[in-house]
Every structure is written in structure tokens, then in C-alpha cells.
Amino acid sequence: MNTLALYESMSAISAQMVEAAAACDWDRLTALEKDCAGLARHLEADGEPIRLSASERTRKLALIHRILADDAEVRRHTEPWMEQVKQFLGGGARERSIRRAYGAHAGQ
């Protein structure tokens, strides 16, 4: 797969990631992230710089901007959820600490 095709595939996957995040479909989002990371590894592995025509460079730049915009949109959906999980887990840890501290005196 050539470089532009890789970017095209990554852009298509990032658009699907936005849909998954908006639907709170975390399993699908995780699977899509793995697919996108696999394509990114292919880009890194190519190593050799490839000469692109002006129109190809323009297309590559547009795809990169689209991927970055999609990434920001995914974060807009995931960060509130991650904050809720953090609060939940933090609350659980706080509750365990309180139970440990006061639970020892409950039988007295």
C-alpha cells in the first residue's frame, strides 16, 4: 500500500472512530484504534521518503488535517467519559479507605 493509500485508510478509520465515540461504542473504538495504529506502523516502517506531486502533497496534507480534526472530536467524546471513570475509581478508592479507617472500629 502506498503512502497516500495509507493516509486515506487512516482517515477513513478515524472517521469511523468519531462515529464510535459519539455512540459510546468503546469496544468498536478500541478495535478501530488498533487498526489505525497498525497503519501508522506501516507508515513508520516505510522509512524511505517518497516524492509526491504537488497534488499528492495537497491531498496528504488535507488527510492529515482531517485525521487530526477527527482525533480532536474523538477526545471531545471520550474525555468526559474518562473523567467519570476516574471519579468512579477514585470514589471507590476513597470509599475503601474510609471503610478501612472506620470499619476497624465498627465492631466496638
Give 28-64 pLDDT, tens digit per residue: 999 999 999 999 999 888 766 788 899 999 999 999 9
Looking from the CA of 94 toward its CB, the CA atoms found within 13 Å total 6
pLDDT at 101 over 60: yes
Global pTM? 0.75
Residue 40's contacts (CB-CB under 8 Å, 6 or more residues apart) are 10
Q: pLDDT-derived band of residue 104, with 50, 70 and 90 as boundaries? A: low
Q: How far is it, in rounded angstroms, from Cα 90 to Cα 93?
A: 5
